[in-house]
């Protein structure tokens, strides 16, 4: 054991992709089919939610949690696509304005 260490190197739980063969390949296949490139933002973005990705992996027989899928997305360089939101200064035209045609 190296000096200054209280435990051996390499201890602890193994990564999921080490204990479940084919997990990373299955995840990459799902991500590639749902990925799109946005020129305004670097990296690939995924149109699926983490829940849907997790469900797809579970249907293939893998045991994986939502947070773990999120971690793998980050490690593989993917990002979830952000929801479009109105700017704080913009307001939608209400139907009442359309009805007041004078």
Residues 6+ apart with CB under 8 A from 28: 76
Count of C-beta atoms within a 10 Å radius of residue 16: 18
- Give every strand in the sheet of 44-46, ordered side by side: 35-37, 44-46, 78-80
Residue of 21, 18, 12, 13 whose CA lies nearest to 62: 21
Structure tokens at 90: 């913009």
Contact 76, 27 (CB under 8 A): yes
pLDDT at 90: 58
pLDDT at 84: 64
Count of C-beta atoms within a 10 Å radius of residue 89: 5
Kindly give the confidence (pLDDT) of every residue in the chain, 102 residues in length, as a single tens digit, with 9 standing for 90 and above: 667 777 777 777 778 877 888 999 999 999 888 766 655 555 677 888 889 999 999 999 999 999 999 999 988 888 776 666 666 665 555 555 555 555
Structure tokens at 37: 């490139």
């Amino acid at each position: 054991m190296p000096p200054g260490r209280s435990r051996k190197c390499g201890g602890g739980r193994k990564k999921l992709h080490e204990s479940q063969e084919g997990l990373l390949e299955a995840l990459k296949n799902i991500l590639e089919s749902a990925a799109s490139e946005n020129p305004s933002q670097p990296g690939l973005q995924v149109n699926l939610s983490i829940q849907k990705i997790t469900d797809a992996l579970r249907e293939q027989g893998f045991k994986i949690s939502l947070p773990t899928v999120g971690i793998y997305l980050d490690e593989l360089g993917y990002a979830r696509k952000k929801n479009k939101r109105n700017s704080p200064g913009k307001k939608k035209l209400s139907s009442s304005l359309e009805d007041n045609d004078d």
